[in-house]
Amino acid sequence: SLYTLGKNVGKKALYSDVLSSVRYIMISRMAKPEEVLVVENENGEVVREFMKDTDTINLYKNMRETLVYLTHLDYHDTERIMTEKLQHQVNGTEWSWKNLNTLCWAIGSISGATMEEDEKRFLVVVIKELLGLCEQKKGKDNKAIIASNIMYVVGQYPRFLRAHWKFLKTVVNKLFEFMHETHDGVQDMACDTFIKIALKCRRHFVTTQPGEACPFIEEILSTISSIICDLQTLQVHTFYEAVG
């Protein structure tokens, strides 16, 4: 009935400010997902994580579920907060490893929570800004943190990558770049993300895409020795599993 509809609209308006604040807090404090291997230790050093922390993983799952619900209630507010926070990373006003991490973990957590068109528009901005940040920031630790966030975000959005060949190719070539980055954890994450994307987007690797002379897999195989030359044995196994 119109009465019920009016009541529901009224409730939504009544709580919108509170819910917006909750979104902001969740995005600012997002827990670390399991896939992220590059972490800052208690001494402020960027290292590879070897021990899985089940408490953190469970906290991430709970926070992700909550943020997905909050995003369903008002996607555009979630996007607005995330976009503003991303701009503050790029212009340096809020730049820190922790701030970038929590933001990117939150962005990755809402995959599939909105319409494909909204997701596309948002992700084009996110990926471009993160790639730009990677070029802009100097220092191995900065680059390792940014790389881990790029890899986490792109690994969470196979639907977007399947629909946008140019972005898929750019992202995979960036992963190949990260395979030469000897900072702890970056190569492992690059291989893990590559196999994840290869499994979810396999058809796009084996068919000739618009504007390409041959399937992407042929291109990869022809340059494979230069892609894997800096990887460890286990990482090479993961790589071959992905292209297989």
- Residue 102 in tokens: 């929590």
Q: Please tell me the predicted confidence (pLDDT) of residue 74.
A: 95
**Distance (Å, rounded) from C-alpha 123 to C-alpha 116?**
10
Q: Please tell me the predicted confidence (pLDDT) of residue 51.
A: 80
pLDDT (tens digit per residue) in 224-234: 999 999 999 99
In a domain, 134, yes or no: yes
For the chain, how many structural domains are there in total?
Answer: 1
Between the alpha carbon of residue 54 and those of residues 31, 32, 33, 57, 61, the distances in Å are 12, 11, 10, 5, 11
In a domain, 24, yes or no: no
Residues in the chain where the model's pLDDT stays below 50: none
Q: Please tell me the predicted confidence (pLDDT) of residue 14.
A: 79
- Which residues constitute the domain of residue 226? 36-243
φ, ψ of residue 18 to 5 degrees: the values are -65, -45
In a domain, 27, yes or no: no
In a domain, 78, yes or no: yes
In a domain, 216, yes or no: yes
Q: Please tell me the predicted confidence (pLDDT) of residue 184.
A: 86
In a domain, 203, yes or no: yes
Query: Which has the closest alpha carbon to 146: 52, 57, 46?
Result: 46
Q: Check which CATH number belongs to the domain holding 220 and give it.
A: 1.20.1440.250
